[in-house]
Amino acid sequence: MRILVFGAGSLGTLVGGLLASVHDVTLVARDPHAARVSAAGLDIVGAESAHVSPAATTTETGHSAGLALVTVKSFDTAAAADALADCDVGAVLSLQNGLTEEMLASRLDAPVLAGTATYGARLVEPGRVECTGVGRVVLGALDGGPDPLAERVGKAFRDAGLDTLVATDMPRRRWEKLAVNAGINAVTALSRVENGALAGDDAGELAHRAARETARVARLERVSLPNRVAREAVDRVVEKTAANRSSMLQDVESEKQTEVDAINGAVVDIAAGHGFEVPTNRTLAALLRAWERGEGIR
């Protein structure tokens, strides 16, 4: 399969690099990373290890591919969609955190699949990506149900050795992941603690509250996600990733823009569309945005 990875930073470089062992992969990335991969190939180190030679470029438009993987941060999704609109792609799959697929679907003619990834990735230096944890890619139809395109993409991922599940319940999975991120990411970023510190703590109760609100909004969107399931998902992730510094905490520590708009901000906006108030998510989003506007982003 010819695969275009749009936004090859940490996750896109890892997944694109793993796919490049059997597929024709092009990474759309920034220099000097793109130049380094073009000249000397890509080293994957850590929990996975390989040396692969995908194509790499900073050119955003004019590509042709069977699949475009979107791995920019959520706040770059609109720009990625505009660039992909000037490419010839058969399908689009987002592996981003936050609800970004709707924006891709509204701007692109190609079918958009929903995806989540629990692989951990870190771009160590140009041309070198570390797999910090082997996880799983889950993908499927945005509206749920069986989908032959998702099956083809899932097979392409599995052929390259990626642990991949093709799911028929992506709406529920996306909202459950959103509930986890709305709770854990925002609370750990604001309190500057690793995920495990939320266990049995008042801050953990705040994360539960944000997750429960998210589940309520999911149900308003006709997605079946009981409060208990969202709360238990938070507890499970806190336990399994106790030593992690969440991606939002890492953004705050690096003084970079966070994905708050596509996580807590999306919960607030979608709730408002139903005339429903989500005070915990609204407060978390307001505090993170205040940090971003203030001394936050470098």
Ligand X SMILES: CC(C)(CO)C(=O)C(=O)O
Ligand Y SMILES: NC(=O)C1=CN([C@@H]2O[C@H](COP(=O)(O)OP(=O)(O)OC[C@H]3O[C@@H](n4cnc5c(N)ncnc54)[C@H](OP(=O)(O)O)[C@@H]3O)[C@@H](O)[C@H]2O)C=CC1
- Judged by beta carbon, residue 108 or residue 249, the one nearer ligand X is 249
- d(CA 263, CA 182) in angstroms, rounded, equals 6
For residue 184, the minimal CB distance to ligand X (Å) is 4
Tell which one of 26, 77, 244, 280 touches ligand X (CB under 6 A). 244
CA 283-288-292 angle, 5° bins: 145
Residues 173-232 that bind ligand X (CB under 6 A): 180-181, 184-185, 195
Per the residue annotation, which of 155, 177, 240, 256 is the catalytic one?
177
Q: Say which DSSP state 246 is in.
A: P
Could you tell which of ligand Y, ligand X, none binds residue 169, using a CB distance below 5 to 8 A set by kind?
Answer: none
Which of 41/135 has CB closer to ligand X? 135
11 binds, among ligand X, ligand Y, none (CB under 5 to 8 A by kind): ligand Y
Phi, psi angle pair for 2, to nearest 5°: -90, 120
Q: Which is nearer to ligand X, 155 or 236 (CB)?
A: 236
Tokens of 6: 């749009």
Distance from C-alpha of 298 to C-alpha of 20, rounded to nearest angstrom: 34
Please count the residues of this chain forming the interface with ligand X, following the rule CB under 6 A.
11
* Other CB atoms within 10 A of residue 31 CB: 12
Is 177 considered catalytic here? yes
If contact means CB under 5 to 8 A according to the sort of partner, which of ligand X, ligand Y, none does residue 204 touch?
A: none
Assess contact for 23 and 45: CB atoms under 8 A.
no
Tokens for 147, please give them: 């989908």
Give me the least distance between CB of 77 and ligand X, in Å please.
16
**Which CB sits closer to ligand X, 111 or 133?**
133
Tell me the one-letter amino acid at 205: E
Rounded distance, CA 181 to CA 1, Å?
32
Residue numbers at the binding site for ligand X (CB under 6 A) = 97, 180-181, 184-185, 195, 237, 241, 244, 246-247
The set of catalytic residues is: 177
